[in-house]
Amino acid sequence: MKKNRWIIIGIAFFVIVAIGNYIWVNAQMDSLYAFRSLLHDAPPAPGEAFDWAQEEEPTRRVVFILVDALRNDTSHKTDVMPYLNELRTQGAWATSHSQLPSYSAPGYSVIGTGAWPHLSDGPAMNLDYENIPTWTQDNIFSAAHRAGLKTAISGYYWFEKLIPQNDVDASFYTPDEDSAADRAVVDAALPWIESGDYQLIFIHLDQVDYAGHHEGGPQDPRWDAAAGRVDDHIREIVSQLDLELDTVIITSDHGQIDSGGHGGHEEIVLTEPLVLAGAGITPGQYPDTEMVDIAPTVTALLGANIPAISQGHILFDMLTFLPEQETALKEAQDTQLRQLHAAYSEAIGDPLPIREDFGVVDGTNFAVDAMLLQQEEKTRRLRFNLPVALAILPAYLIFRSWKKIKWLFAGAIAYFILFNIYYAFIAKRAYSLSSVAGLESFTQFNAVTASVLLGGIWLFLMLKLGFFKKGASEIAETTIILTILTLYLVSLPILWHYAVNGFMVTWYLPNFPIMFRGFLGMIQSIMVAVTGIVLTGVGALAAQLTKKS
């Protein structure tokens, strides 16, 4: 028993590693799916609507068209979307930028509330329909309804759960995402436009996103075909408007990577088109904007209050407000952002003063984000000692034992390099959530890759070093050392992730690129540990058989 104690300890260690990482992965994902804003239970109170004289109203209604997953570069293709580009020449346009995570549900929430995902209280990830929460924070539909305006929405059925339905006067929702669904969405919305009864009409078109996920991605001809059909829908919708009196706004919630998919940090998925045309709009190309600017701009056009949670700015340069209207709106935005700052200060418990040297609006918005960063840094500093120690101590032990384990450590390095070569260059996967088409398939791919690579490297080393001719205990111990060294290298991104993001998602969203690397490392750790147990047994058995023969 004493002779085999290190083998028993090694196998027990692998069991703990596998189970521990499995529990951690699931706890981490559950906490991310359950994330809610610090202001969830204490939403800032909305301000007052604006009582413009009828002849001073910038528009009689806003028709908002959200084209799901439309990439900015696709929107500029005149052969694919000629009508959208025609609207660009008539109206105001800019490039809009969003923030992580670049999924639809967080994007919808940012567009609707004007707050980034850590504040909007929308889902941080895409959820199943039955699990989608309703916005607790002020939003463009609630603001319009309080102002006595009628609202209508036609689109994907997630909006039925996200938007407080008491603030929606007419609706059509579909669980489908393809071209037939878009046709039904447009057919439902056209009568609302023709009636003239609704002042905010929101139309969500989903087939471009469908083409990205199910028809080969943006490099497939079917992507451009879907965008072309959407362009026809936009033409059909806008043809029912009088752009002397009405305003149309067109944007997207995110882009997609070339192979299809989104959710990650790639520039292409965090960049969207923004086009405004019609009444109240000053035509021209404008500097880049942010997604949070859309909600306060919509409510300003409608004369409704700026959403109370909004972190964005009204895009005054694009709008034709009278001087006194612009002054009133800026004062209202000043008040709104100061109230948001106060609410967040109370929630976070350690406020920063407003930076008046940035200007009232910019200073307030800066302070809200800076408070978040300040608290994140405090929390992270408390966590760094443990991962640093767990990274340095094994490195020291490896250095002390270098002559005995150099071949095994070379094998661990070979695993680490080959895994990443296969992942990035052969399988052509991104180190981001955009590459995760499905959690089950992603996990299976990485688990199989890890076990096959480790098994191949183990077999090569055992043959090269002649371990099959030695005793069962020696080959088992050598296998355990190889597995431990591989686990050490695989654990480095996990330790980095823990230092930055912690064990679980709590009151702030994680650094998603670092989290993804840690998540990838945890999946590998589970499979490396399991494979190490199997190889330990296989090696011992092979040694026994070789000895008998």
pLDDT in tens, 29-72: 999 999 999 999 999 999 999 988 888 899 999 999 999 999 99
What is the pLDDT averaged over residues 477-494?
96
Pairing of strands 246-251, 271-278: antiparallel
More confidently predicted of 377 and 336: 336
290 forms beta bridges with 97
Does residue 361 surpass a pLDDT of 60? no
Cα separation of 302 and 294, whole Å? 13
Locate 121 and state its tokens. Answer: 């209280």
Q: How confident is the model at residue 199 (pLDDT cuts 50, 70, 90)?
A: very high
pLDDT at residue 349, rounded to an integer: 81
pLDDT per residue over 56-66, tens digit each?
899 999 999 99
pLDDT at residue 248, rounded to an integer: 98
pLDDT at residue 357, rounded to an integer: 47
More confidently predicted of 2 and 277: 277
Does residue 1 surpass a pLDDT of 90? no
Does residue 485 surpass a pLDDT of 70? yes
Q: How confident is the model at residue 541 (pLDDT cuts 50, 70, 90)?
A: confident
pLDDT at residue 359, rounded to an integer: 47
pLDDT per residue over 138-174, tens digit each?
999 999 999 999 999 999 999 999 999 999 999 999 9
Q: Is 383 helix (H, G, I), strand (E, B) or coil?
A: helix
More confidently predicted of 473 and 453: 453
Beta-strand runs (E) in 327-446: none
pLDDT at residue 353, rounded to an integer: 65
pLDDT at residue 297, rounded to an integer: 98
Does residue 366 surpass a pLDDT of 70? no
Q: How confident is the model at residue 386 (pLDDT cuts 50, 70, 90)?
A: confident
Does residue 543 surpass a pLDDT of 90? no
pLDDT at residue 547, rounded to an integer: 64
User: Which contiguous run of DSSP H or E holds residue 342?
Assistant: helix 323-348
Smallest Cα–Cα separation from 311: which of 329, 291, 330? 291
Smallest Cα–Cα separation from 39: which of 510, 312, 372, 373? 372
Does residue 382 surpass a pLDDT of 80? no
Smallest Cα–Cα separation from 307: which of 11, 14, 43, 31? 43
Does residue 269 surpass a pLDDT of 70? yes
pLDDT at residue 358, rounded to an integer: 43
Percent above pLDDT 90 for the chain: 80
DSSP 123-170: -SS---GGGPPPP-S--HHHHHHHTT--EEEEEETHHHHHS-GGG-SE
Q: How confident is the model at residue 106 (pLDDT cuts 50, 70, 90)?
A: very high
Average pLDDT, the chain: 92
pLDDT at residue 2, rounded to an integer: 55
